[in-house]
Amino acid sequence: MTIRLLCAYASYPANALAVFDAATEAGLVAAKMASTDLTGGAIYIAKYPNSGLPLTGEPITRTEALYRFWGICGTGGVLCPAGNQSPSNFTSSMKFEVEAPFYAVRLLRINRSGANVLDAQKALIGVTGSNATDTSYGLTASQNLTVPVINGVPYPQLAPAGTANGFQPVVWPGREVASLTNTTTTATMTTKLPHGLITGATVTVRNADLPAYNVTNTPVIVTSTTAFTYAMGADPGAAAAAVGSYTASMVGVLRPNVDQTYAMSEKSYVKSVPRLDGSGRPLLLIRLHCNGAVYPFPFHTMSALARTPSAALRGRTYQMGYALSDAVATPNTLMGLAGELLDVYPVVSHSVPVLSLWHANDSTGQNDAIVADKISSWMHRACLTLSTPQKPIAFSNFCASSQTSMTYWNQVKAALAAGAPPPSILVVGCDSVNDGVNTDGTVAAAFGLAADVMSVCKRYGIPKPVMHPRMPLNTLNAAQYALKVAQDIELAKVAAAFGIDWMPLPVLGDGANPERWNTAYNHLGDGYHPNELCIETVLSTYAAAYIASRYL
């Protein structure tokens, strides 16, 4: 039959006449989101009403934004891939295009391996005008790929004081101690910024003015993101006046997937420079050295397709270099093209306002095993499509292959707790096929996650929260599918009541009851994932239109 929508649903505006399958129509009418009366006045629910928890009064644009183009999970869909860690003494270089001019950068680093991110690694940040990977501009391939090039001149060095000609060092402030106090023989260390440790890590403390505080490889108990305790051999009798410094080790301690944390560096002031090829998107260089002899470090396998402009990446490039040595201590080290990416992501201070969009979902959002270039998810492509010099958009992928909704949502909260600047727009999949088939339990969990999205958006000043449903799942029976339909309807009502946008994912299914994937859009017929055709022609196109109509 035909129904009249009383609020926006799928691709239809309020008051539209539409035809769906019988179960969807009945659910919409029961939820008072639609009517069988085709002539009456519509009940219109405003997108951002004057009441509702997520409203913060925050402007939608940002001056600082996180760029994260790879999702949360590593090889095999795990957050700490013990089977994909390298014991090498390795330096990775990453060069990529930023969407707007910038003047400072911080680095966000995940504690994905069994060791603390602040140990046995160091980093540099630089700017360059060359996006070449060959011998263009009279430079060597290594200079074009991994060295600051300013006005055509390479600077493989730390920038001399008072100049921008070279790299700037990165400081991880979790090492900096704010205070060191005691209760008899228990020391409490408070750090200036989140330390990134978990209970079971060991610390070595040096140069405190009271010797009892100085310990070697002593286990800690974490009491907060910026504090931990450890046992001393004697009572120092007072708080330390000179607090000294510490190093930490977590070798052998692997975090569970839902318990990953992050560490944020201090700002390094590096101003973007004009590109030699005339493009308006400035280039950023990051070097990260990890000594795998101290602890193995995880990595992603990258595709060579990302090195040159492509339609999938909307003309952008992501170029990796490497050296099997410490090329941070020696910035003039020659480096070649690499197929690995380490988990370090820039937080960029822009010279102009930008939109920042984070997407948290499962593998149907991460997409690295589906797309050829491994990094262009459908939401990523949508943002790249829309981003312009006048309205730049910074995208962050918080999607997690093979993980539940709790895992990817906890990663959003962990990054915010570490000091990542909150996004303008936070898009969250309310539940995941990895949560299992739809049951009363998954429905309750989805509503719990939705409530937490509201709370987090309020706490961190995120002005535009968006929720969307899970994609089709071919194994659902009729009763499970009815639960999914009812859940989506009720979540849309919750979103409308609290000023959250609900983004349905249209035309993925075949319209049957129970619904199955449209075979033209399903990846290898697996019943779970969108394929490249769906990502490019359906999802990214739809997401771009959705974002543009509401936020640009």
pLDDT tens readout for residues 121-131: 789 999 999 99
Q: What was the pLDDT predicted at 31?
A: 63
Over the Cα atoms of the chain, what is R_g? 25
Q: What is the average pLDDT value for the chain, to the nearest integer?
A: 86
494 versus 139: which is more confidently predicted? 139
**pLDDT at residue 499 is higher than 70:** yes
Query: Span 427-431, mean pLDDT?
Result: 94
Query: pLDDT confidence of 173, banded at 50, 70, 90?
Result: low
Query: Span 334-348, mean pLDDT?
Result: 92
Contact 90, 420 (CB under 8 A): no
158 versus 254: which is more confidently predicted? 158
What are residue 370's phi and psi, to 5 degrees?
-110, -45
- Burial zone of 163 (CB within 10 Å; 0-12 exposed, 13-18 middle, 19+ buried): exposed
**pLDDT at residue 419 is higher than 60:** yes
Distance, in Å, from the CA atom of 224 to the CA atom of 18, rounded to the nearest integer, reads 52
Residues with Cβ within 8 Å of residue 346, at least 6 apart in sequence? 66, 67, 98, 105, 106, 107, 108, 125, 284, 286
